[in-house]
Amino acid sequence: MAADTEKEVQAVLFQEWVLALRDRAGDSRSDRWRVVRPNMDKERCTDCGVCIEACPMATICADGTVIRIRYEGCIGCGICAVNCRIHAIQMEPSPDWRH
Ligand code: SF4
Ligand code: SF4
């Protein structure tokens, strides 16, 4: 399988997994089961908006010209972090998660 095709297949599989995760959540109480969540470094962030487009849950929004994450609906998938080319988003343990 060509590298590009393999990457595309992986991207589709990942997207399907994320959508399944979203369906399983059933509601916006992702804090009950989310293990990690994104932490945005505002010193690095250029407010380009790429992560807004990438987030499957639409939980990243523009507050005026400033980009921010609304954690209420975040499923911790990490797609925002992967799509930020300057690595301004790091995934970290979710403080809400109960073991
Ligand atoms: S993709 Fe990265 S740099 Fe762009 S708005 Fe999101 S966190 Fe900021
Ligand atoms: S981890 Fe990022 S992309 Fe995934 S739901 Fe949360 S804010 Fe959106």
**Alpha carbons 83 and 9: distance in angstroms, whole number:** 17
Question: Looking at the CA of 30, which ligand is closest?
Answer: 2
From the CB of 48, is ligand 1 less than 6 Å away?
yes
Does 47 contact ligand 1 (Cβ within 6 A)? Answer: yes
* 49 ligand 1 Cβ < 6 A: yes
Q: Which two tokens stand for residue 59?
A: 């939980």
Does 10 have pLDDT greater than 90? no
pLDDT of residue 33: 73
The confidence score (pLDDT) of residue 11 equals 67
* Residue 91 CA, closest ligand 2 atom number: 1
Q: Is the CB of 45 under 6 A from ligand 1?
A: yes
CATH number for the domain spanning 32: value is 3.30.70.20
Q: What is the pLDDT of residue 38?
A: 95
* Residue of 98 and 95 predicted with greater confidence: 95
Q: Is residue 27 part of a domain?
A: yes
* pLDDT at res. 76: 87
Count of domains forming the chain = 1
| pLDDT tens digits, one per residue of 17-76 | 777 776 766 655 777 777 889 999 999 999 999 999 999 889 999 988 899 999 888 888
Q: Check pLDDT > 80 for residue 14.
A: no
Q: Which residue has the tokens 């010193």?
A: 43
Name the one residue in this structure whose structure tokens are 């399988």: 1
- 38: which strand partners? 91
| Amino acid 91: pLDDT | 94
Domain contains 98: no
In a domain, 99, yes or no: no
* Residue-range definition of the domain harbouring residue 43: 3-93
Amino acid 94: pLDDT: 83
Dihedral sign for Cα 59, 63, 66, 71, please.
negative
